[in-house]
Structure 1
Amino acid sequence: MRRLEILRTVMISILSNKFRVFLTSLGIIIGTLTIILVVGIGRAGETAVAEQYSRLSVESITISRVKGMGQSAAPTEILNKDDAMLMSEVLPNVKSIGVSTKVLTDIGANGASSAITIQGINEEYAEITRLHVAYGVMLTNEDSMMRNKYVVLGSNVAAAFFDGDLAGAVGEKVLIKGSSFEVIGVLDSVGGSGGISTSQADSGSVDDMAFIPYDVAVKYTTGSTSRNMSSSANQVSYIALANDINSVDLAMEEIKEYIVETIGTGDAYTVTDAGNVLESAQATAKTLSSLLLAVAVIVLVVSGIGIMNVLMVAVKERTREIGILKSIGASRKTIMIEFLLEAAAISVFGGILGALMSLAAPWIFSMSTIAFEPSVEGILLGIGFSVLTGIFFGFYPAAKASGLEPIVALNYE
């Protein structure tokens, strides 16, 4: 048979069973769409991680409480603020120390309220993590010592409470845990899911947070009056700045030794440089993307089994046709190609339809908090997987069809 005749036969077979072909391709459509969405979400996640930590100085070192240690640890096993601040004075390779504590609490203004992550910080924390105000001024250590009830809002928080007027938010009042705070600044927008964190597990964006002086946070928002913060030790973290990029490793060793000398154990805190934090966060994002991609591939495999079942039925229905083709000289290879092309056509149809549906993803995700980054790579990967799935699972029915004996096929009822 000529190639054109084979293609014509394939098209006739597909068009004569349009509804069955469509139902068969549904799984391919969903699988392809899932792969494209997974790739887009994964890329957006990796981009967000890169943006999040790009604001950290390369000389920065995070010092975070190991989760769960605060439940049973003795007060002597907690690195308090005063001891931590001394590191910049007694450790030769440590230039400055930032401190941060956080709590999720209600913040209200203009008759509206919302649960917002409030971070209590000192001036060094803002400098090391490069928190910059677009309007107003940043918090200072004097604000912390004077217990000034000042707050700096993330751009999204300010926009939500003050009708998008970021500059107008400066000088206004907000309520945090029933106490009135004056807005003295609004941060510039980070965008996406970016943000600054001194904890690897923290993925909040500065756009959606509010910042107040550290000692004010200790007194008014965490429910603790102790400078040790022993009741909420897991919420306190520090960030150090090494003298320069060449001093980072030395500074980390000094910090670890200092912690052991101060609290008697090195197991209560993790000490990590910005590069390792970024690599760890990116690895986590890639692992999540891989898991989601595996789910999408499983969907395609199930769809491939459906294609195989449909083609097996088609072989049964067209047994006499196969016998006639063989009796007039059609080779085994020709029969196999015909059925493989049919499987590939169903897969291509499902893949293209799934890819077309994915074009609406940016618009749909724009109405949610999920970040999505469209890419040609994702579309090609989705269609490629769908075609391979169809050919793989179409091979057995095609081989069975090509192996039928002409006499047996012609006598089939």
Structure 2
Amino acid sequence: MTDKQPLIKLSGVTKTFQNGDLATRVLHGIDLEIYPGEFVAIIGQSGSGKSTLMNILGCLDKPSTGEYFFAGKEVSDFEADELAQLRREAFGFVFQSYNLLAGATACENVEMPATYSGMPPHERRERASELLSSLGLQARLDHRPNQLSGGQQQRVSIARALMNGGQIILADEPTGALDSNSGKEVMKLLKNLSEQGHTIILITHDTHVANHAHRLIEIRDGLIVSDPGPSEVTHAPINEHKLHGEPSFSTEIKEGSKTAFRSLRSNVFRTVLTLLGIVIGVGSVITMLAIGDGAKKAVVDSISAMGSNLLVIRPGGPEQRRAWEIQTLIPADVEEINKLPHVAAALPELTGSYTLRYGNVDVSTDVNATGYQYPLARKWDIASGTFFSEEDEKNFATVAVLGKTVVRKLFGDEDPLGKYIIVNNVLFQVIGIMSERGADPGGADQDDKILVPYTTGSLRIMGRRFLRNVTVSVDSEEHMMDVQNSVHSLLTERHGTEDFTIRNMASLIDTLSATQNTMTILLGSIAAISLLVGGIGVMNIMLVSVSERTREIGVRMATGARQRNIMQQFLIEALAVSALGGVIGVILGLLAAAIVGRLGMPIDYSLGPVVLAFSCAFLTGLIFGFLPARKAARLNPVVALASE
């Protein structure tokens, strides 16, 4: 044997564990050579260092000092993923406690190493079935560990060790948890594997078990005290570990997703509780934004319906109060404004509350004395009859046009057209009915009014010529500022001072929109806090999951999982919870918004809030799942396997 290259060579290997300021040296300079095809038993009592030596031999841990050569290549300074590759391609582990995944079937447990080595799924399944069948478990392929006896579980563990070829089988107290008959069967299997050319390294404290090996190495107090040297191998050893290449990224994601969803299914109640935080957060964001956008749209639509291309001129300068009692605007101002470029119509307006009578019915309503172009300027159509004309205005005609609310109050179901009503003791004939307008942004009923010619109202009803306000309709919104500046210059020149104020309805809409946007953002921010809390819940649950599944992580690392495979698995779990919660939250949020809309509150649906809420939920899973995933990926395999 000495003329051949050793498969494993340790030279001056030590291992020291640091616990705060306390340093404990477990291995004190190990020199060891193991050749291909050997059946080696390393025996020692508890605390002798045999398990630490096994962890170093199996690339689960690194030596503190010394050199480790595998097939002539030094691996002492390999990074975590390089060690994982070596474990994946060369080693198979058989543990005392089996270390099978409780939620996976026997076949799925055996397939695990191959998922990290790039073997196609159908080949994995076929090979796992063959291995289990060769070990007498052909009827147990779909059984879970809790449905198998201890001996059967250990045979599954052996099949898993052979999945990627198993050039070297590391068996750590393989019979420690078995009865004597099951223990004999396992040792017989290991002996058969040795005869097939596998290199077997058996770790035990039992001399009877160790005697099955061809070479017995005794370790005591971190030192090898007995080693007869390399044994004669009479069979052809397996000289090379089997390579399958690297799985594609899509394959890794697919396998990680299967593992993640299996884990979520095994903890349904906890998964539902985690979902709940995301669902509430996403649903709240969508509902709140729908309400906020609906309120904004209702206000803007209401003002726009009155005319977004309007300028409203009121008497009284910026510093004057009680502007409605100031007498500065006169009909002559309206005539001059009508001559300005881009002015579609300038309307004089005098308003006041008066009592109307028809027959024995009296109602109090608003009377608006205005110009004949009122429907054009205010974008308010006639429902029936006609509006008074320029001729009516010039002739001081006593004609009136009623809003729908006034019609209902005065006439009920009777047709008012052609009828006469009394307004402030003056007889007016009803010639038209306005279409229904509804409430204005302040909640006032716009249909509760009567419209009469300005000249008639000024002379016969109000008894004054000074105007309450002037409404200017601009032919295009793009000329709003030009007309506003022209009107301002005109009135300042005519009055000799700025004794008026001009309100630009387009600017008012912009201001109200900005205010409503602020309120919407505020509502959305409050709802987003729920989403943040849900994200923290995801992180907490994932951290708990990492703690609960530490041994599983160790098993996966022992079978060749890279750090990114572990990270992918836990990130996918977090993203799956967040994405599913996001979908449910979107549905419930839209449903809640629909219910609120049914109750009479204005609601505006748009794609933006839905995409925003779902994206935030997805990012929540990514961000808050990253820390637990990274923690899982950085676990030390030895520490993870030792976890209870």
State if a TM-score over 0.5 links the two structures: yes
Q: Would the alpha carbon gap of residues 245 and 370 (structure 1) be closer, same or farther in structure 2, given more than 3 Å must change?
A: closer
Deviations 1:17-42 (A, max 9, x none): 32322222223212222333345446
Which residue among 351, 363, 370 is the counterpart of 2:582? 351
**Correspondences of 1:38-49 after superposition (within 5 Å):** 38-41=288-291, 44=294, 45-46=296-297, 49=300
Which residue of structure 2 lines up, in the alignment, with residue 133 of structure 1?
Answer: 382
**CA RMSD across the alignment:** 5.0
1:153 maps to 2:391: no
Q: Which moved more, 1:398-407 or 1:8-17?
A: 8-17
Q: Would the alpha carbon gap of residues 271 and 8 (structure 1) be closer, same or farther in structure 2, given more than 3 Å must change?
A: closer
Which residue among 367, 370, 388 is the counterpart of 1:122? 370
Query: 1:65 Cα deviation (Å)?
Result: 7.2
1:12 maps to 2:243: no
Distance between the aligned counterparts of 1:411 and 1:242, measured in 2?
82
Distance between the aligned counterparts of 2:273 and 2:354, measured in 1?
49
* C-alpha contact 1:131 1:187 (8 A) present in aligned 2: yes
Query: 1:295 Cα deviation (Å)?
Result: 3.2
Q: Would the alpha carbon gap of residues 206 and 411 (structure 1) be closer, same or farther in structure 2, given more than 3 Å must change?
A: same
2:484 is matched by which residue type in structure 1? M
Distance between the aligned counterparts of 1:411 and 1:62, measured in 2?
81
Query: 1:240 Cα deviation (Å)?
Result: 1.2
1:294 is matched by which residue type in structure 2? S
Distance between the aligned counterparts of 2:338 and 2:608, measured in 1?
51
Q: Would the alpha carbon gap of residues 143 and 23 (structure 1) be closer, same or farther in structure 2, given more than 3 Å must change?
A: farther
Task: Tell me the SS of whatever aligns to 2:448.
Answer: strand
Distance between the aligned counterparts of 2:544 and 2:495, measured in 1?
73
Give structure 1 stretches of 5+ with no counterpart. Answer: 196-201, 230-235
Q: Would the alpha carbon gap of residues 15 and 95 (structure 1) be closer, same or farther in structure 2, given more than 3 Å must change?
A: closer
Which residue among 247, 250, 260 is the counterpart of 2:492? 260
Q: Would the alpha carbon gap of residues 97 and 315 (structure 1) be closer, same or farther in structure 2, given more than 3 Å must change?
A: same
1:399 maps to 2:630: yes
* C-alpha contact 1:140 1:213 (8 A) present in aligned 2: no
Indicate the structure whose relative CO is greater, using CA pairs within 8 Å and at least 6 residues apart: 1
Distance between the aligned counterparts of 1:173 and 1:322, measured in 2?
91
2:441 is matched by which residue type in structure 1? S
Which residue of structure 2 lines up, in the alignment, with residue 213 of structure 1?
Answer: 451
Q: Which moved more, 1:279-288 or 1:365-374?
A: 279-288
Which residue of structure 2 lines up, in the alignment, with residue 326 of structure 1?
Answer: 557
* C-alpha contact 1:69 1:268 (8 A) present in aligned 2: no
* C-alpha contact 1:335 1:402 (8 A) present in aligned 2: yes
Q: Would the alpha carbon gap of residues 290 and 183 (structure 1) be closer, same or farther in structure 2, given more than 3 Å must change?
A: farther
* C-alpha contact 1:150 1:183 (8 A) present in aligned 2: yes
Q: Would the alpha carbon gap of residues 30 and 213 (structure 1) be closer, same or farther in structure 2, given more than 3 Å must change?
A: same
Distance between the aligned counterparts of 1:65 and 1:252, measured in 2?
15
Distance between the aligned counterparts of 1:405 and 1:159, measured in 2?
83
Q: Which moved more, 1:16-25 or 1:368-377?
A: 368-377
Query: 1:392 Cα deviation (Å)?
Result: 1.1
2:304 is matched by which residue type in structure 1? Y
Q: Would the alpha carbon gap of residues 33 and 251 (structure 1) be closer, same or farther in structure 2, given more than 3 Å must change?
A: same
Which residue of structure 1 lines up, in the alignment, with residue 137 of structure 2?
Answer: none
* C-alpha contact 1:88 1:97 (8 A) present in aligned 2: yes
Which residue of structure 1 lines up, in the alignment, with residue 287 of structure 2?
Answer: 37
Q: TM-score, normalised by structure 2?
A: 0.48
* % identical aligned pairs: 27
Q: TM-score, normalised by structure 1?
A: 0.70
Task: Tell me the SS of whatever aligns to 1:374.
Answer: coil
Which residue among 270, 284, 287 is the counterpart of 2:502? 270
Task: Tell me the SS of whatever aligns to 1:63.
Answer: strand
* C-alpha contact 1:29 1:350 (8 A) present in aligned 2: yes
Distance between the aligned counterparts of 2:312 and 2:407, measured in 1?
28
Distance between the aligned counterparts of 2:471 and 2:557, measured in 1?
77
Task: Tell me the SS of whatever aligns to 1:296.
Answer: helix
Distance between the aligned counterparts of 1:104 and 1:410, measured in 2?
87
Query: 1:344 Cα deviation (Å)?
Result: 0.8
Which residue of structure 2 lines up, in the alignment, with residue 27 of structure 1?
Answer: 277
Distance between the aligned counterparts of 2:314 and 2:323, measured in 1?
15
Which residue among 190, 203, 215 is the counterpart of 2:441? 203
Distance between the aligned counterparts of 2:477 and 2:607, measured in 1?
37
Which residue among 503, 528, 533 is the counterpart of 1:297? 528
**Correspondences of 1:85-96 after superposition (within 5 Å):** 85-88=334-337, 94=343, 96=345
1:408 maps to 2:632: no
Distance between the aligned counterparts of 1:174 and 1:318, measured in 2?
86
Distance between the aligned counterparts of 2:622 and 2:331, measured in 1?
67
Q: Would the alpha carbon gap of residues 62 and 339 (structure 1) be closer, same or farther in structure 2, given more than 3 Å must change?
A: same
Deviations 1:188-211 (A, max 9, x none): 456xx9x8xxxxxx6368986333
1:367 maps to 2:598: yes
Which residue of structure 2 lines up, in the alignment, with residue 232 of structure 1?
Answer: none
Distance between the aligned counterparts of 2:351 and 2:268, measured in 1?
59
Q: Which moved more, 1:247-256 or 1:84-93?
A: 84-93
Q: Which moved more, 1:306-315 or 1:289-298?
A: 289-298
Which residue of structure 2 lines up, in the alignment, with residue 198 of structure 1?
Answer: none
Query: 1:254 Cα deviation (Å)?
Result: 2.9
2:383 is matched by which residue type in structure 1? A
Deviations 1:67-111 (A, max 9, x none): 9966466965x644546534436757756322457799999x9xx
**Correspondences of 1:214-233 after superposition (within 5 Å):** none
Deviations 1:232-276 (A, max 9, x none): xxxx5432135788975553223112443466654851343x654
Q: Would the alpha carbon gap of residues 23 and 52 (structure 1) be closer, same or farther in structure 2, given more than 3 Å must change?
A: same
Distance between the aligned counterparts of 2:275 and 2:560, measured in 1?
32
Which residue of structure 2 lines up, in the alignment, with residue 311 of structure 1?
Answer: 542
Query: 1:160 Cα deviation (Å)?
Result: 11
1:212 is matched by which residue type in structure 2? I
Query: 1:292 Cα deviation (Å)?
Result: 3.3
Deviations 1:357-402 (A, max 9, x none): 2443564244233332334444333222211111111111111121
1:49 is matched by which residue type in structure 2? V
Query: 1:353 Cα deviation (Å)?
Result: 0.9
* C-alpha contact 2:566 2:629 (8 A) present in aligned 1: yes
Query: 1:131 Cα deviation (Å)?
Result: 0.9
* C-alpha contact 2:311 2:502 (8 A) present in aligned 1: no
Give structure 2 stretches of 5+ with no counterpart. Answer: 1-111, 116-251
Query: 1:304 Cα deviation (Å)?
Result: 0.9
Find the structure with the greater CA-based Rg: 2
1:35 is matched by which residue type in structure 2? V
Q: Would the alpha carbon gap of residues 95 and 52 (structure 1) be closer, same or farther in structure 2, given more than 3 Å must change?
A: closer
